[in-house]
Amino acid sequence: MTYETLLWEQDGPVLTLTLNRPDKLNAYTATMGLEIEDAFVRADEDDSVRVIIVTGAGRAFCAGADISSGASAFDSQAEGSVAFGDAGTTARRRSGGGFIGAIFNCRKPIIAALNGAAVGVGATLTLPMDIRIAARGARVGFVFARRGLVPEAGSAWFLPRLVGLPTALRWC
């Protein structure tokens, strides 16, 4: 399968998945979520893959949700749209929990290589991974409350388990 927003590069047992929207700082779209989910399900089922590295193209890991089209970015009723929480995909029915569920359920070690900003869903994406390595100058932000949102996609479950409840509350 070819992806629009994701690069799949396998070198022996090492699979590198690169979020590939560098012109938008790899901002998350519904299509990207579906592709991430599919890639993790595929990688989990592929015995030749022994470890997965996730990084971003360009100068950012993931700048959060792409809201450049305004409120219509979340309009699941618009013609041709794929909702951020769309449950109608084959991969979703297999793994459960969308892209976060696919990452969490993957049996391969997963390394997040944060090459730049990881904000909102970009930070959330790393939470079910096994190891997170940040480049010098990389920034991580859980900015949900500043946007009037609750932490999404499992952030409220994963983050307190990783850093403790008081720290998670302060970060959010």
Q: What is the pLDDT along the chain (172 residues), one digit of tens a residue?
A: 689 999 999 999 999 999 999 999 999 998 899 999 999 999 999 999 999 999 999 999 999 888 777 666 655 555 444 444 444 444 444 445 788 899 999 999 999 999 999 988 888 899 999 999 999 999 888 776 666 666 677 777 787 788 788 877 777 7
| Structural domains for the chain | 6-67+90-142 (3.90.226.10)
**Cβ atoms 99, 41 nearer than 8 A:** no
Q: At what angle do helices 98-105 and 30-45 cross, to 10 degrees?
A: 20
Q: Which of 131, 148, 150, 40 is nearest to 89 (CA)?
A: 40
What CA–CA distance (Å, rounded) separates 167 from 4?
36
